[in-house]
Amino acid sequence: MSILQQMTPPTISETVYVGTTGNNIRYEMAPGITDFYGDTVLIWRLRYDSADCAPENVGVWTTFGFRQAAVSGASTTDPVEVASWTTGDKTLYVNVNDVRRIDIDVTNTTIGCAAMRVSDTATMVDSYSSAPIEDSTWHTELQVWDIASWDFRTGGSLDTSGILYTESNFTWHQRATTGAFL
């Protein structure tokens, strides 16, 4: 006699705030999606489904413009730093090992970093952390819950030189409006 038990997949629905809750800078995590908001502005959406790796199911979507920039400077010990959050200047940094490496200008909708590259297995750092962004010594990882594997996956890995790596099937998609990817 065999007993079959059907397991219900674990799921996630969580909001994680960055800095002061009143600034409303947050990650909203749901199955297969991690959204990063600066107040009402969606900075990026990570989407991952290992069961269906079609381009529309895997990647990072944004309406922000990208610019190559040498971003540096001492930072806070947090992976995301709120540098300024006033009406005319809303600036965030993504940090690696306490050094600023990505500059996010929410006011002018731009993201700056040294470079963005598709990774090979040697350069991509994968973490199974349940945090939406995980700061390790040499990399900061952007995390998303994968519905199919029931685990967290790394969508992007920022290294100490400011290069943002993504897996070969996890690419950046820039769109004119958030309606194009929500």
| Residue 170 · residue 60 · CB < 8 Å | yes
Q: Domain map of the chain by residue range?
A: 14-180
User: What is the average pLDDT across 146-153?
Assistant: 84
For residue 134, which of 124, 126, 122 has the smallest C-alpha distance?
126
**Tokens 């099937």 found at:** 169
**What pLDDT was estimated at residue 124?**
60
* Per-residue pLDDT band at 36 (split at 50, 70, 90): very high
CA separation for the pair 100, 80 (Å, rounded): 9
* Per-residue pLDDT band at 150 (split at 50, 70, 90): confident
**Tokens 């790796």 found at:** 53
CA separation for the pair 3, 38 (Å, rounded): 49
- 68 pLDDT higher than 70: yes
Radius of gyration of the chain (CA): 17
**What pLDDT was estimated at residue 49?**
80
For 180: left if phi > 0, alpha if psi spans -120 to 50, otherwise beta; the answer is alpha
